[in-house]
Amino acid sequence: MQKVWIYLENGTFLEANSFGATGTSVGEIVFNTSLTGYQEIITDPSYAGQFVTFTMPEIGNVGVNEEDMESKTAYCKGVLVRNYHHEHSNFRAQGDLDALLKEHNVLGICNIDTRYLTKMLRDEGAMMMIASTEVSSKEELAKKLSESPRIEDINYIKEVSTKEPYVHKFGAWNHEELAYNKAMMSDKKVVVVDFGVKRNILNELVQSGLEVEVIPSTFKAEDLIARFEAKEIGGIFLSNGPGDPLTLREEKEEVQKLIDANIPMFAICLGHQMLSIAHGFDTYKLKFGQHGGNHPVANPDNVVEITAQNHNYNVPDNIIEIAEITHQNLFDNTIEGVKYKNKEIFSVQHHPEASPGPHESKYIFDEFAKIVK
C-alpha cells in the first residue's frame, strides 16, 4: 500500500494508506452509517463529487460483483475506511474492491480513524477535502484545495445522466430482459428523467408492472407533455442525483412546465427536491446530511419504516402550504415525503428501493403504478 495524505478545509492534516486508484482528488467528505452494501454506495451516482467515510470498520470482506452495481461506473471521489480487506469471502463475489476502485479511478483510503472523522463531521458539518498519493505537503494540499471549485458550484448531473434515451427491462429479481406486449403496455409506460438514477430504482419500477423509458436530464417538457396528451405515456419519474439542486435552473424550468400540465409524477431524493423548488419552495443544506441504511421514518399510517438515505439537502417546512407531509424522519423530524394538493404528484426523500428492512417502503412504487395505470 502507498501512503496517502489528506487535508480538510478546517485545517486537519492526516496520513494514511491507500488502495484502489492513485492520484489527487478533491471533493466533499460525508459519512455513511450503513453496515452493508458498500458496493451499492460507491456506485450510486448521487455520491458524485464526494468522499464517503464508512462508519462500518470492515470494508471489502465480501468482494464485489456485477449485479450490485447501481450504475455503469463509480462516481464518488474516494472512500475512507478503517480496515480494508483485500481477501474476500462471499459466494456472489466476482472480484475485489481494490480492482473495482482502480477500474473506475476512485481513491481508497484505509488505516485511518473513521470514528474520529465521523465525530468531526457530525460536530462541524460536511466539508471539502483533498487526498493525494502524490503530494505530501500540507501547504501545497491546502493551496490546491483553496483553488478548487466547491461541490455546490459544479453541475454533476451532466456527468452522471445518460446521454441517449433507453428502455429498461429488468425487474428487481429478474436478471433476464422482460418481454413487453406493446398493446397491453400502452397505458403503463413511464418516462424516467435521469438526474443520476440508481439501477435498483429502475428495477422496482419495472417490478411494479410499468414499462420504463429513461431519458437525459436535458429533456424538454414540451416533448413529454405532447407524449402524455397523445396517451403514449402515463406518468413521469424524477430520479435521484448528486449536488445542490438549486444549481439546476434550466431543469427547474422544465419541471415547472410538467407540473402545470398536470402529469402524474413521482420522485425520489434529488427529484423530490426538484419538485419542491419548481413549486417555489427552495431547499436548504443540512449540517452533515443523512447517509445510511438505518433511518427511521414514520409513514402516513404512523408505521415506522427503516429507510436508506443519501442526501445533503432537504425541502423546507413551509411546503405544507401546498403539500401534505406523508413521511417524516424520526431522527431529526425533517420532511421525508409529500403529496401535493390537488395533483397526482408525490415524492419521497429516502430510497424505497434499497431494502434496508424490516418494514420497508417498496409499496410506494406500486402506488405510483396504480396512478399511471
- Burial (CB < 10 A; 0-12, 13-18, 19+), residue 204, is buried
In the chain, CATH 3.50.30.20 sits at 2-153
Architecture of domain 157-372: 3-Layer(aba) Sandwich (3.40)
Q: Which residue type sits at 315?
A: V
Share of the chain above pLDDT 70, in %: 95
Contact 246, 279 (CB under 8 A): no
pLDDT (tens digit, 9 = 90+) per residue, 308-324? Answer: 999 999 999 999 999 99
Nearest Cα neighbor of 29 from 115, 169, 168, 127 is 127
Share of the chain above pLDDT 90, in %: 92
What secondary structure letter does DSSP report for 111? S
Q: How confident is the model at residue 176, as a pLDDT? A: 62
- Residue 184: pLDDT above 90? no
pLDDT (tens digit, 9 = 90+) per residue, 16-69? Answer: 999 999 999 999 999 999 999 999 999 999 999 999 999 999 999 999 999 999
Residues with a known catalytic role: 269, 351, 353
Contact 225, 247 (CB under 8 A): no
- Residue 360: pLDDT above 90? no
In the chain, CATH 3.40.50.880 sits at 157-372
CA 135 remoteness from chain centre: 31
Specify the fold of 2-153.
Answer: Glucose Oxidase; domain 1 (3.50.30)
Q: Residue ranges of the alpha helices (H) in the chain?
A: 38-42, 97-103, 114-124, 138-147, 157-160, 182-185, 199-207, 221-229, 249-260, 270-278, 363-372
Band (pLDDT 50/70/90 cuts) for residue 183 is: very low
pTM of the predicted structure, to 2 decimals: 0.95
Nearest Cα neighbor of 300 from 348, 255, 230 is 348
- Residue 265: pLDDT above 80? yes
Using the Cα atoms of residue 327, residue 199, residue 341 and residue 312 in order, give the sign of their dihedral: positive
